[in-house]
Chains A and B, each alone.
Chain A
Amino acid sequence: MRRIWAILVSAVFLYFLIGTYYPTLPEFGNIDMFRRVSFNYISKSTTKEYQPVEFKKSNGLEEGSANVVTSIVVNYRSFDTLGEVTVLFTAALGVGILAGFRKRRIEFEEHRVLSIAIGIVFPIVLLFGAYVFIHGHLTPGGGFPGGTVISLGVLLLMLAKNEFGVTDVAKHTEQVAGSGYVLVGLIGMAMAGTFLTNILPTGTVGELFSAGVVPIVYTLIAFKVGAELSNLISEMREGDKA
Protein backbone atom coordinates (compact mmCIF):
# COMPACT_ATOMS: atom_id res chain seq x y z
CA MET A 1 0.00 0.00 0.00
CA ARG A 2 2.81 2.34 0.96
CA ARG A 3 4.67 1.63 -2.26
CA ILE A 4 1.56 2.36 -4.36
CA TRP A 5 1.16 5.70 -2.62
CA ALA A 6 4.83 6.43 -3.19
CA ILE A 7 4.61 5.64 -6.90
CA LEU A 8 1.48 7.81 -7.12
CA VAL A 9 3.12 10.77 -5.39
CA SER A 10 6.25 10.69 -7.52
CA ALA A 11 4.22 10.15 -10.71
CA VAL A 12 2.03 13.19 -9.98
CA PHE A 13 5.12 15.26 -9.22
CA LEU A 14 6.85 14.11 -12.43
CA TYR A 15 3.68 14.85 -14.42
CA PHE A 16 3.64 18.37 -13.00
CA LEU A 17 7.36 18.90 -13.70
CA ILE A 18 7.33 17.59 -17.26
CA GLY A 19 3.89 18.83 -18.26
CA THR A 20 3.79 22.29 -16.68
CA TYR A 21 7.30 23.31 -15.76
CA TYR A 22 9.38 21.84 -18.58
CA PRO A 23 7.91 24.01 -21.41
CA THR A 24 8.82 27.21 -19.51
CA LEU A 25 12.52 26.29 -19.33
CA PRO A 26 15.10 27.62 -21.81
CA GLU A 27 16.23 25.12 -24.41
CA PHE A 28 19.13 23.00 -23.14
CA GLY A 29 22.54 24.15 -24.37
CA ASN A 30 21.14 27.19 -26.18
CA ILE A 31 21.27 30.12 -23.77
CA ASP A 32 22.09 33.71 -24.62
CA MET A 33 25.23 34.50 -22.62
CA PHE A 34 25.30 38.16 -23.66
CA ARG A 35 22.03 38.88 -21.90
CA ARG A 36 22.97 37.19 -18.64
CA VAL A 37 24.51 38.78 -15.55
CA SER A 38 27.40 36.32 -15.69
CA PHE A 39 28.67 37.98 -18.85
CA ASN A 40 29.91 40.87 -16.70
CA TYR A 41 31.56 38.42 -14.32
CA ILE A 42 33.33 36.65 -17.21
CA SER A 43 34.63 39.89 -18.75
CA LYS A 44 35.44 41.16 -15.20
CA SER A 45 33.76 44.50 -15.85
CA THR A 46 30.80 44.95 -13.53
CA THR A 47 31.58 48.63 -12.97
CA LYS A 48 33.84 49.56 -15.89
CA GLU A 49 33.38 49.44 -19.68
CA TYR A 50 33.48 46.07 -21.43
CA GLN A 51 36.98 44.85 -22.28
CA PRO A 52 37.89 41.37 -23.52
CA VAL A 53 40.07 39.47 -21.04
CA GLU A 54 43.02 37.44 -22.28
CA PHE A 55 45.00 34.78 -20.40
CA LYS A 56 48.45 35.97 -19.15
CA LYS A 57 47.99 39.36 -20.88
CA SER A 58 45.27 41.37 -19.17
CA ASN A 59 46.32 42.98 -15.93
CA GLY A 60 45.01 45.47 -13.45
CA LEU A 61 41.41 44.33 -13.85
CA GLU A 62 38.85 44.78 -11.10
CA GLU A 63 39.23 41.07 -10.30
CA GLY A 64 42.19 38.96 -11.37
CA SER A 65 41.51 35.24 -10.91
CA ALA A 66 41.58 33.01 -13.98
CA ASN A 67 38.86 30.75 -12.60
CA VAL A 68 35.60 32.67 -13.04
CA VAL A 69 33.69 30.48 -10.56
CA THR A 70 36.28 31.32 -7.90
CA SER A 71 35.99 35.00 -8.71
CA ILE A 72 32.23 34.80 -8.11
CA VAL A 73 32.45 32.70 -4.96
CA VAL A 74 35.27 34.56 -3.20
CA ASN A 75 35.10 38.04 -4.68
CA TYR A 76 31.77 39.13 -6.10
CA ARG A 77 29.62 37.05 -3.74
CA SER A 78 32.07 36.72 -0.85
CA PHE A 79 29.48 37.66 1.75
CA ASP A 80 27.46 34.67 0.56
CA THR A 81 30.47 32.44 1.17
CA LEU A 82 30.88 33.87 4.67
CA GLY A 83 27.28 32.79 5.34
CA GLU A 84 27.96 29.38 3.85
CA VAL A 85 30.97 28.87 6.13
CA THR A 86 28.75 29.89 9.04
CA VAL A 87 26.16 27.26 8.05
CA LEU A 88 28.88 24.61 7.93
CA PHE A 89 30.09 25.77 11.35
CA THR A 90 26.57 25.55 12.77
CA ALA A 91 26.16 21.99 11.43
CA ALA A 92 29.50 20.98 12.96
CA LEU A 93 28.43 22.59 16.24
CA GLY A 94 25.19 20.59 16.22
CA VAL A 95 27.11 17.38 15.56
CA GLY A 96 29.45 18.23 18.42
CA ILE A 97 26.56 18.83 20.83
CA LEU A 98 24.86 15.55 19.86
CA ALA A 99 28.17 13.67 20.09
CA GLY A 100 28.36 14.62 23.76
CA PHE A 101 25.55 12.14 24.55
CA ARG A 102 27.35 9.15 23.06
CA LYS A 103 28.52 6.34 25.30
CA ARG A 104 31.20 4.37 23.50
CA ARG A 105 34.00 4.90 21.02
CA ILE A 106 34.02 3.01 17.72
CA GLU A 107 36.96 0.60 17.75
CA PHE A 108 38.23 -1.61 14.94
CA GLU A 109 41.19 -3.83 14.17
CA GLU A 110 44.17 -2.19 12.53
CA HIS A 111 44.97 -3.52 9.10
CA ARG A 112 48.67 -3.99 8.58
CA VAL A 113 48.80 -2.91 4.92
CA LEU A 114 46.89 0.30 5.65
CA SER A 115 48.87 1.15 8.78
CA ILE A 116 52.20 0.83 6.90
CA ALA A 117 51.00 2.53 3.70
CA ILE A 118 49.59 5.51 5.61
CA GLY A 119 53.13 6.78 6.22
CA ILE A 120 53.58 7.22 2.47
CA VAL A 121 50.03 8.15 1.48
CA PHE A 122 49.19 10.71 4.18
CA PRO A 123 51.84 13.34 3.22
CA ILE A 124 50.87 12.96 -0.45
CA VAL A 125 47.20 13.52 0.38
CA LEU A 126 48.08 16.62 2.42
CA LEU A 127 50.31 17.91 -0.39
CA PHE A 128 47.54 17.40 -2.95
CA GLY A 129 45.05 19.21 -0.73
CA ALA A 130 47.48 22.13 -0.37
CA TYR A 131 47.97 22.20 -4.16
CA VAL A 132 44.21 22.27 -4.72
CA PHE A 133 43.57 25.22 -2.43
CA ILE A 134 46.66 27.26 -3.33
CA HIS A 135 45.77 27.05 -7.04
CA GLY A 136 42.08 27.72 -6.36
CA HIS A 137 42.10 30.88 -8.49
CA LEU A 138 43.83 29.20 -11.47
CA THR A 139 42.52 25.64 -11.74
CA PRO A 140 39.32 23.81 -10.79
CA GLY A 141 39.27 23.46 -7.03
CA GLY A 142 39.69 25.89 -4.20
CA GLY A 143 39.22 26.10 -0.48
CA PHE A 144 36.27 23.76 -0.04
CA PRO A 145 37.63 20.84 -2.14
CA GLY A 146 41.13 21.36 -0.71
CA GLY A 147 39.86 21.30 2.86
CA THR A 148 37.80 18.20 2.10
CA VAL A 149 40.86 16.41 0.67
CA ILE A 150 42.83 17.24 3.82
CA SER A 151 40.05 16.00 6.08
CA LEU A 152 39.82 12.78 4.04
CA GLY A 153 43.54 12.29 4.73
CA VAL A 154 42.75 12.64 8.44
CA LEU A 155 39.93 10.07 8.03
CA LEU A 156 42.39 7.64 6.40
CA LEU A 157 44.79 8.15 9.30
CA MET A 158 41.93 7.49 11.69
CA LEU A 159 41.09 4.23 9.91
CA ALA A 160 44.73 3.15 9.92
CA LYS A 161 45.69 3.94 13.52
CA ASN A 162 43.16 2.92 16.13
CA GLU A 163 44.53 5.16 18.90
CA PHE A 164 44.66 8.30 16.73
CA GLY A 165 42.32 11.09 17.72
CA VAL A 166 41.93 14.71 16.64
CA THR A 167 43.10 17.02 19.41
CA ASP A 168 42.00 20.55 20.27
CA VAL A 169 44.43 21.90 17.66
CA ALA A 170 41.72 21.37 15.02
CA LYS A 171 39.27 23.53 16.96
CA HIS A 172 41.81 26.32 17.43
CA THR A 173 42.76 26.21 13.72
CA GLU A 174 39.12 26.55 12.82
CA GLN A 175 38.63 29.50 15.16
CA VAL A 176 41.71 31.34 13.88
CA ALA A 177 40.84 30.72 10.21
CA GLY A 178 37.20 31.76 10.65
CA SER A 179 38.19 34.94 12.47
CA GLY A 180 40.81 35.60 9.78
CA TYR A 181 38.11 35.60 7.10
CA VAL A 182 36.08 38.19 9.01
CA LEU A 183 39.30 40.14 9.63
CA VAL A 184 40.04 40.28 5.88
CA GLY A 185 36.54 41.66 5.41
CA LEU A 186 37.02 44.27 8.14
CA ILE A 187 40.39 45.36 6.68
CA GLY A 188 38.61 45.86 3.35
CA MET A 189 35.98 47.92 5.15
CA ALA A 190 38.63 50.06 6.84
CA MET A 191 40.66 50.68 3.69
CA ALA A 192 38.05 50.87 0.93
CA GLY A 193 34.76 51.37 2.72
CA THR A 194 33.06 48.08 1.77
CA PHE A 195 33.02 44.77 3.61
CA LEU A 196 35.23 42.11 1.93
CA THR A 197 36.56 44.40 -0.80
CA ASN A 198 39.58 43.32 -2.80
CA ILE A 199 42.26 45.70 -1.47
CA LEU A 200 45.41 44.11 -2.91
CA PRO A 201 46.55 44.62 -6.54
CA THR A 202 44.95 42.05 -8.84
CA GLY A 203 47.98 41.33 -11.07
CA THR A 204 47.99 39.50 -14.38
CA VAL A 205 45.29 36.91 -15.09
CA GLY A 206 46.79 33.41 -14.81
CA GLU A 207 49.82 34.17 -12.60
CA LEU A 208 50.15 32.40 -9.24
CA PHE A 209 50.51 35.73 -7.38
CA SER A 210 47.41 37.44 -8.69
CA ALA A 211 43.78 38.05 -7.81
CA GLY A 212 44.43 40.09 -4.65
CA VAL A 213 42.80 38.67 -1.54
CA VAL A 214 41.26 35.64 -3.30
CA PRO A 215 44.12 33.15 -2.58
CA ILE A 216 44.39 34.41 1.01
CA VAL A 217 40.67 33.98 1.63
CA TYR A 218 40.64 30.56 -0.04
CA THR A 219 43.59 29.40 2.08
CA LEU A 220 41.74 30.50 5.22
CA ILE A 221 38.58 28.72 4.03
CA ALA A 222 40.58 25.56 3.31
CA PHE A 223 42.06 25.53 6.80
CA LYS A 224 38.64 26.16 8.32
CA VAL A 225 36.85 23.49 6.29
CA GLY A 226 39.65 20.95 6.73
CA ALA A 227 39.76 21.42 10.51
CA GLU A 228 35.98 21.49 10.75
CA LEU A 229 35.41 18.27 8.79
CA SER A 230 38.24 16.43 10.58
CA ASN A 231 36.69 17.49 13.85
CA LEU A 232 33.26 16.34 12.65
CA ILE A 233 34.58 12.90 11.60
CA SER A 234 36.37 12.55 14.91
CA GLU A 235 33.26 13.51 16.88
CA MET A 236 31.21 10.91 15.03
CA ARG A 237 33.72 8.29 16.16
CA GLU A 238 34.60 9.30 19.70
CA GLY A 239 32.32 8.56 22.59
CA ASP A 240 31.86 10.69 25.66
CA LYS A 241 35.32 11.26 27.08
CA ALA A 242 34.22 12.10 30.59
Chain B
Amino acid sequence: MIYYISFILIGIGLYGIVSQKNLLKQLVALTIIDTAVNIFIVSLGYLQGAEAPIYSVITPVANFVDPLPQALVLTAIVIGVGTLAMASMLLIHIHEKYGSVDVDEICSAKEVIE
Protein backbone atom coordinates (compact mmCIF):
# COMPACT_ATOMS: atom_id res chain seq x y z
CA MET B 1 0.00 0.00 0.00
CA ILE B 2 2.79 2.38 0.94
CA TYR B 3 4.32 1.66 -2.47
CA TYR B 4 1.36 3.50 -4.01
CA ILE B 5 1.98 6.53 -1.79
CA SER B 6 5.55 6.83 -3.00
CA PHE B 7 4.51 6.26 -6.64
CA ILE B 8 1.88 9.00 -6.39
CA LEU B 9 4.40 11.36 -4.77
CA ILE B 10 6.83 10.67 -7.64
CA GLY B 11 3.99 11.47 -10.09
CA ILE B 12 3.23 14.73 -8.28
CA GLY B 13 6.91 15.67 -8.35
CA LEU B 14 7.19 14.96 -12.11
CA TYR B 15 4.05 17.02 -12.75
CA GLY B 16 5.57 19.89 -10.77
CA ILE B 17 8.88 19.78 -12.62
CA VAL B 18 7.26 19.76 -16.09
CA SER B 19 4.38 22.17 -15.48
CA GLN B 20 5.95 24.93 -13.38
CA LYS B 21 7.97 27.80 -14.82
CA ASN B 22 9.19 29.03 -11.46
CA LEU B 23 12.55 27.47 -10.67
CA LEU B 24 11.87 27.50 -6.92
CA LYS B 25 8.70 25.45 -7.45
CA GLN B 26 10.65 23.02 -9.63
CA LEU B 27 13.16 22.65 -6.79
CA VAL B 28 10.32 21.89 -4.36
CA ALA B 29 9.00 19.27 -6.80
CA LEU B 30 12.46 17.71 -7.02
CA THR B 31 12.57 17.51 -3.22
CA ILE B 32 9.16 15.78 -3.23
CA ILE B 33 10.60 13.11 -5.56
CA ASP B 34 13.59 12.77 -3.20
CA THR B 35 11.26 12.14 -0.25
CA ALA B 36 9.14 9.71 -2.28
CA VAL B 37 12.17 7.61 -3.19
CA ASN B 38 13.26 7.57 0.47
CA ILE B 39 9.80 6.35 1.54
CA PHE B 40 9.93 3.67 -1.15
CA ILE B 41 13.36 2.36 -0.07
CA VAL B 42 12.39 2.23 3.61
CA SER B 43 9.12 0.45 2.80
CA LEU B 44 11.09 -2.29 0.97
CA GLY B 45 12.50 -3.35 4.35
CA TYR B 46 9.27 -3.41 6.32
CA LEU B 47 8.21 -6.60 8.08
CA GLN B 48 4.73 -7.01 9.52
CA GLY B 49 4.78 -7.20 13.33
CA ALA B 50 8.49 -6.38 13.68
CA GLU B 51 10.05 -3.56 15.71
CA ALA B 52 12.50 -0.74 14.99
CA PRO B 53 16.04 -2.20 14.75
CA ILE B 54 17.32 -1.11 18.18
CA TYR B 55 18.14 -3.47 21.05
CA SER B 56 16.40 -1.93 24.07
CA VAL B 57 14.43 -2.81 27.21
CA ILE B 58 11.29 -3.31 25.10
CA THR B 59 12.99 -5.50 22.47
CA PRO B 60 15.84 -7.37 24.20
CA VAL B 61 16.09 -10.00 21.46
CA ALA B 62 15.98 -9.41 17.73
CA ASN B 63 12.58 -9.07 16.07
CA PHE B 64 13.48 -6.32 13.68
CA VAL B 65 12.64 -4.81 10.33
CA ASP B 66 15.44 -4.66 7.75
CA PRO B 67 17.95 -2.02 8.96
CA LEU B 68 19.98 -1.81 5.74
CA PRO B 69 17.50 0.33 3.71
CA GLN B 70 17.17 2.67 6.68
CA ALA B 71 20.94 3.12 6.83
CA LEU B 72 21.06 3.84 3.09
CA VAL B 73 18.20 6.34 3.38
CA LEU B 74 20.08 8.10 6.21
CA THR B 75 22.87 8.67 3.69
CA ALA B 76 20.42 9.77 1.01
CA ILE B 77 18.73 12.31 3.31
CA VAL B 78 22.04 14.00 4.14
CA ILE B 79 23.03 14.18 0.48
CA GLY B 80 19.55 15.55 -0.29
CA VAL B 81 20.15 18.34 2.21
CA GLY B 82 23.47 19.14 0.53
CA THR B 83 21.99 19.32 -2.97
CA LEU B 84 19.01 21.35 -1.70
CA ALA B 85 21.32 23.91 -0.09
CA MET B 86 23.48 24.10 -3.22
CA ALA B 87 20.44 24.51 -5.51
CA SER B 88 18.81 27.17 -3.35
CA MET B 89 22.09 29.10 -3.28
CA LEU B 90 22.18 28.93 -7.10
CA LEU B 91 18.59 30.26 -7.14
CA ILE B 92 19.57 33.16 -4.86
CA HIS B 93 22.42 33.89 -7.28
CA ILE B 94 20.07 33.78 -10.31
CA HIS B 95 17.62 36.07 -8.55
CA GLU B 96 20.34 38.61 -7.80
CA LYS B 97 21.53 38.59 -11.41
CA TYR B 98 18.22 38.62 -13.34
CA GLY B 99 15.74 39.84 -10.72
CA SER B 100 13.51 36.78 -11.07
CA VAL B 101 13.46 32.99 -10.83
CA ASP B 102 10.81 32.52 -13.54
CA VAL B 103 12.14 30.89 -16.70
CA ASP B 104 10.36 33.24 -19.15
CA GLU B 105 11.35 36.35 -17.23
CA ILE B 106 14.97 35.17 -17.11
CA CYS B 107 14.92 34.77 -20.92
CA SER B 108 13.54 38.28 -21.48
CA ALA B 109 16.00 39.70 -18.95
CA LYS B 110 18.83 38.03 -20.88
CA GLU B 111 17.67 39.70 -24.12
CA VAL B 112 17.61 43.08 -22.37
CA ILE B 113 21.16 42.56 -21.12
CA GLU B 114 22.40 41.60 -24.57
Residues of A within 8 A of B (CB): 2-3, 5-7, 9-11, 13-14, 17-18, 22, 25-26, 28-31, 33, 36-38, 41-43, 52-57, 66-69, 72-73, 77, 80-81, 84, 87-88, 90-92, 94-95, 98-99, 101-103, 138-140, 144, 205-206, 225, 229, 232, 235-236
Contacts and interface: CB of A to CB of B under 8 A. Distances in A.
A88 B81 contact: yes
B109 interface: no
B75 A28 contact: no
B82 A10 contact: no
A22 B47 contact: no
Interface size class of B (residues with CB under 8 A): 35 or more
A206 B55 contact: yes
B64 A42 contact: yes
B79 A84 contact: yes
B93 A101 contact: yes
Interface of B: 1-4, 7-8, 10-12, 14-19, 21, 43-48, 50, 52-57, 59-62, 64, 66-68, 70-71, 74-75, 77-79, 81-83, 85-86, 88-90, 92-93, 96
Contacts of A18: 4, 7
A146 B49 CA distance: 29
B74 A5 contact: no
